[in-house]
Amino acid sequence: MSEATLNPNPLVAALRAGEYLGADALAGADLRNADLSGLRFANLDARGAQFTGADLRRTVWARCRLDDVRMDGAQLESASFTACRGVGVSLRQAVLTKVWMKDCVWQDSDFHLSEWNRLAAQNTAFPGSRLQTAKLEKSWLSQCDLSGLDLSGAAWQQTHFPDSKLAGATFAGAVLAQCSFNRAHAPDADFSGITAPSVSFYSAVLHNARFDNARLDGAIFDQARLDRASFARASLQGARFFAASSTGISFDATRLVHADLSHLRAAHADFGRADMTGARLHAVELPDASWRDTVLENVRRDDPELRAAELWRPPV
């Protein structure tokens, strides 16, 4: 018989019995390695509580204060957090599989080596938190705020950030396999040196963003806003910029082989030393563009028949 069975934690027993223990019953509580699976915690002050190694699977957390809570190595599969707020929460190596978060704030929190598999979050912010070593796979973060975070070297797979805020975030050197940032607001973000083939930034705001030396073959930037964005020395083979817009974009020494720039509107664009072999430039507007030493072999310019079809309107 285990020690936990011989000496049951009275707080755990009370929680299991459904007793009301007061709004601050969990504040500073020591619940390390406790089995709390399936319990519901609502409107509680749990500041300073210890849940390291605890079984928190299927737990429900609603409107709780979680400042300085430790959940290192905790099992949180299928848990949910709604309108919770925590400053300095530690979730190092926690398992967050199929976790749901909504309207939460995780400030200055530590997710080092935590596992995010099929996690879903909406309208959740992570100011100052450590996320770059978290293992994100098949996760979905909608309308979330990751602004200003250092995410250098992150290795994430099939994770999507629709309508999220990434202003000033740093992804330098990250590997973002099959990820998307559709409609994201990411001015001043640094994606230098990322490896992200087929990544999607559809309709994203990327003013002053940096993609220098990035590997972005097959990437999608359709309808993105790219004022002063830089793709210097990046690989964008087969990438799409359909109907994107920009002033002062830089493609200096960029590989744009077979890229589709149809309907791109980009004043003062720099294509110096770019390789645009086979690129599509249908209906582009590129006033005052720089073309010094640009490779334009087999470039496909305006398609008259396609242009006529695009401009066709049914008779009145």
Q: Determine the residue type at 74.
A: A
149 burial (CB, 10 Å; 0-12 / 13-18 / 19+) is buried
Q: What is the mean pLDDT of residues 266-278?
A: 98
Q: pTM for this structure?
A: 0.92
> Is 30-139's fold the same as 146-316's?
yes
- The whole-number average pLDDT for the span 270-292 is 97
What does the pLDDT read at residue 100?
A: 98
Spatial CA neighbour of 201 closest among 221, 229, 226: 221
Q: What is the rounded distance in angstroms from the CA atom of residue 151 to the CA atom of residue 172?
A: 7
In the predicted structure, residue 6 carries a pLDDT above the cut 50? no
Once rounded to an integer, what is the mean pLDDT over residues 2-18?
71
The pLDDT of 96-107, averaged and rounded, is 98
Q: Which residue has the tokens 């110096």?
A: 272
Query: What are the tokens at 58?
Result: 């299927």
The answer to whether the CB of 87 falls within 8 A of the CB of 70 is: no
Q: Stretch 83-110: mean pLDDT, rounded?
A: 98
Domain residue ranges of the chain, discontinuous segments joined by +: 30-139, 146-316
Report the amino acid identity of residue 309.
A
> What pLDDT sits at residue 308?
65
pLDDT digit string (tens) for 182-221?
Answer: 999 999 999 999 999 999 999 999 999 999 999 999 999 9
Residue 305 — very low, low, confident or very high, per pLDDT cuts 50/70/90? low
| Residue 88: both structure tokens together | 């300095």
**126 vs 37: CA distance, rounded Å:** 25
Q: What is the pLDDT of residues 67-78, one digit of tens each?
A: 999 999 999 999
- Return the structure tokens found at 141: 């973060």
Contact between 94 and 74 (Cβ < 8 Å):
yes
Percent of the chain topping pLDDT 90: 87
Tens of pLDDT along 25-45?
Answer: 899 999 999 999 999 999 999
> What pLDDT, in 10s, does the model give residues 131-145?
999 999 999 999 999
Architecture of domain 30-139: 3 Solenoid (2.160)
User: How many C-beta atoms surround the C-beta of residue 314 within 10 A?
Assistant: 4
Per-residue pLDDT tens over the stretch 143-182: 999 999 999 999 999 999 999 999 999 999 999 999 999 9
The kind and range of the H/E element at 77 are none
List the single range of 94-108, 115-129, 301-315 with lowest mean pLDDT: 301-315
Q: For 286, which DSSP code?
A: -
pLDDT at 242 over 90: yes
Give the list of residues 6+ apart from residue 186 with CB closer than 8 angstroms, or none.
Answer: 165, 166, 167, 169, 201, 204, 205, 206, 209
Q: Is the dihedral of CA 163, 246, 178, 232 positive or negative?
A: negative
DSSP symbol at 60 = E
Kindly indicate the confidence band of residue 56, based on its pLDDT and cuts at 50, 70 and 90. very high
Using DSSP's 3-state secondary structure scheme, residue 82 falls into strand
CATH class as words, domain 146-316: mainly beta
